[in-house]
Amino acid sequence: MAFRFLYRAAVFAVPAALTVWSQADAKTLRVNISADPAQIDPITYSELNSYQVLEQVYEGFTSITPDGRALPALAVSWTPLPSGYGFRFNLREGVKFHSGRAFTAKDVKYTFEQLLKPGGQGGLSAQFLNNVIGAADLKAGKASELAGVKIVDDRTIEVAFTKPDVLFPIYQFFFMDSGIVSALGADWMTKADAGTGPFTFKQWKRGIEVDLAANPGYWGGAPKIDGVQFLIIPTGDTTLSQYDAGELDFVNLPENSFRRALGNPDYQSQTIKVPKAQVRYMGMNQALYAPFRDKRVREAISLSLDRDAMIRGLYNGAAFKLNGQTVPGIPGYNPDMPPLKYDPERAKALLAEAGYPGGKGMPPVDIQCIEPFRDEITYYANQLGKVLGMPVTPKVVERATFIKSMNAGEVAFFPWGWTADYPDAMTFLGEMWQSKSPFNRPRWSNAAFDTLIERAQTEPEDAKRFAIYRQAEKILMDDWATAPLPATTNIALRKPNVKNVTVTPFGYSVFQSALIQ
């Protein structure tokens, strides 16, 4: 009897509980993201999945084209302030938030203040405001307004800095509707969005999907699709299987599915390969391992790495050689850096010159990284042992522990990378290699390099700034501060009936002009 009861209960409970949702119709673009966004919030966002959703819904002063250029978006033009320390922005006219309220200078100021106010938990964009006058006071709770921001009129706003910051207009902000909290309450995020972009927030089913609907009133023209459905799919194999079964239109693949995707000839015409906005390098801390203090040792390490073999064997072809510390697709990239060579004989000779013939006299050293890099560090250890006789042991470290000790400058030898925060090579050269940057993890330091970077930070003209980057990057590589490692690509698959969408170095493009035939 009891069994019968249980059985009956289950039989009735199952169909009742499986709430059937309406199938996405043909004009909804279905794409994948690898995890839930941490929050669909223009203020707290700090990771890629949130960014992929937010960039369809929110906008800043400028937007980034798929080839990395910044175009005017909510600002139509800007001029430096007379002091040189700041900008006056002319905002776009006739832009409306999804709520119907007009976008004005007040909303820009409001967004900045939300990013900085104590307890507001400003995420990644908050760092872009560090140079704005009054930012520190607002953060510390000593002020209630951001002193460096002046609303001239609805369409004009001035932002003043404590020191020059010529890249300010291209920093990615997501301007939000200052009236949203009073209209919908503090939990507005669960009901609506506060953006101006081509798509509006429809719903987020945690663990399943995020749905966006087209914004017919978008100032840049209404999208031609009905909406976007971001399906949350953590594993690469499931992503590919769903793509094969026609449940996804466009996929940005996780790395662990590259082998399967690139090995399948059926995909060839559907594959898009774009360099990631990420440089990779070998960290060699000169304070922690004595042989690294000799430039010849650092060069010998670079010469010992067979990068072509690495690209084939470790990256399944989804990578390209990097000869410096900037990547294609990010303005400021220098395509003319001298190509790095694989030359074991020259490497051996250099090491002998440095006083370590055949690796004799070199103390043992660990090459450390996190689990996904296990194969890679094993390759380095083997290769350096084979070519140079250098006693290197691969050591896998748990991710958070590794990042913490790397940030503290406590790791002697490690491969790592840095992802761009904005489309300009400063994001690499300045953040990673300037001696005072907290993200200079190998602790390399060079006064001439630092001076050039500081000069570049005051040079508003792209061509002139890029020329400075070239000089700085040359200093970096002449000193063999690092052995650049192959940089990886984004790999996406797009069904033949989907048009006008792509991936950029940062991830998905904005889907405003997407077409599904």
Please name which of 289, 287, 322, 291 lies closest in space to residue 444, comparing C-alpha atoms. 287
162 counts as binding another protein under rule CB under 8 A: no
- Phi, psi of 482, rounded to the nearest 5 degrees: -155, 165
Dist. CA 442–CA 22, nearest whole Å: 53
Residue 20: which residues within 8 A CB-CB, separation 6 or more?
A: none
Ramachandran category for residue 161: left, alpha or beta (phi over 0 → left; psi -120 to 50 → alpha): beta
Stretch that binds another protein, among 2-10, 330-338, 341-349, 383-391 (CB under 8 A): 2-10
Stretch that binds another protein, among 200-208, 258-266, 282-290, 489-497 (CB under 8 A): 200-208
Residue from the set 26, 35, 152, 183 that interacts with another protein by CB under 8 A: 35
As measured in angstroms, the least distance from the Cβ of 447 to another protein is 22
As measured in angstroms, the least distance from the Cβ of 418 to another protein is 7
- Phi, psi of 257, rounded to the nearest 5 degrees: -110, 5
15 counts as binding another protein under rule CB under 8 A: yes
- C-beta of 116 vs 167, nearer to another protein: 116
In 3-state terms, what secondary structure has residue 102?
strand
205 counts as binding another protein under rule CB under 8 A: yes
Residue from the set 167, 233, 362, 485 that interacts with another protein by CB under 8 A: 233
439 counts as binding another protein under rule CB under 8 A: yes
Query: Do residues 465 and 459 make contact, with C-beta atoms less than 8 angstroms apart?
Result: yes
As measured in angstroms, the least distance from the Cβ of 307 to another protein is 23
Stretch that binds another protein, among 161-169, 193-201, 241-249, 297-305 (CB under 8 A): 241-249
86 DSSP β-pair partners:
160
Residue from the set 30, 36, 333, 433 that interacts with another protein by CB under 8 A: 36
Dist. CA 106–CA 140, nearest whole Å: 22
- C-beta of 9 vs 287, nearer to another protein: 9
Residues in 119-138 at the binding interface with another protein, rule: CB under 8 A:
121, 124, 126-127
18 counts as binding another protein under rule CB under 8 A: yes
The DSSP annotation for 175-244 comes to ---TTHHHHH-TTGGGT-----SSEEEEEEETTTEEEEEE-TT-TT---SSSEEEEEE---HHHHHHHHH
Dist. CA 406–CA 397, nearest whole Å: 11
Stretch that binds another protein, among 57-65, 85-93, 118-126, 330-338 (CB under 8 A): 118-126
372 counts as binding another protein under rule CB under 8 A: no
Dist. CA 426–CA 412, nearest whole Å: 25
As measured in angstroms, the least distance from the Cβ of 343 to another protein is 33
339 counts as binding another protein under rule CB under 8 A: no
191 counts as binding another protein under rule CB under 8 A: no
As measured in angstroms, the least distance from the Cβ of 241 to another protein is 4
2 counts as binding another protein under rule CB under 8 A: yes
H-helix or E-strand containing 105? Answer: helix 105-116
Spell out the long-range contacts of 83-86 with Cβ–Cβ below 8 A and sequence spacing 24 or more. 83/160, 84/164, 84/458, 85/160, 85/161, 85/162, 85/163, 85/164, 86/148, 86/158, 86/159, 86/160, 86/161
Number of residues forming the site for another protein (CB under 8 A):
55
46 counts as binding another protein under rule CB under 8 A: yes
Residue from the set 90, 162, 238, 445 that interacts with another protein by CB under 8 A: 238
Indicate the DSSP class of residue 153.
E
Query: Do residues 484 and 279 make contact, with C-beta atoms less than 8 angstroms apart?
Result: yes
As measured in angstroms, the least distance from the Cβ of 2 to another protein is 4
- C-beta of 34 vs 471, nearer to another protein: 34
Stretch that binds another protein, among 40-48, 95-103, 445-453, 492-500 (CB under 8 A): 40-48
Which tokens sit at 203? 């719903």
Helices 344-353 and 374-388 pack at an angle, to 10 degrees, of 70
Residues in 246-265 at the binding interface with another protein, rule: CB under 8 A:
247
Q: Which residue has the tokens 């990010």?
A: 330
Stretch that binds another protein, among 76-84, 150-158, 231-239, 378-386 (CB under 8 A): 231-239
Indicate the DSSP class of residue 497.
T
Which tokens sit at 208? 């399943």
44 counts as binding another protein under rule CB under 8 A: yes
As measured in angstroms, the least distance from the Cβ of 161 to another protein is 19
As measured in angstroms, the least distance from the Cβ of 247 to another protein is 6
Contact track, another protein, 55-94, x by CB under 8 A: ----------------------------------------
33 counts as binding another protein under rule CB under 8 A: no
In residues, how long is the chain? 517
38 counts as binding another protein under rule CB under 8 A: yes
- C-beta of 6 vs 76, nearer to another protein: 6
13 counts as binding another protein under rule CB under 8 A: yes
The DSSP annotation for 286-341 comes to TTT-GGGGSHHHHHHHHHH--HHHHHHHTTTT-EE--SSS--TTSTT--TTSPPP-
Which tokens sit at 145? 């307004």
CA angle 187, 188, 191 (to 5 degrees): 110
Residue from the set 208, 213, 337, 396 that interacts with another protein by CB under 8 A: 208
Q: List interacting residues with another protein (CB under 8 A).
A: 1-3, 6-7, 9-11, 13-15, 17-21, 35-36, 38-39, 41, 44, 46-47, 121, 124, 126-127, 205-208, 231-235, 238, 241-242, 244-245, 247, 398-401, 403-404, 407, 418-419, 438-439, 441
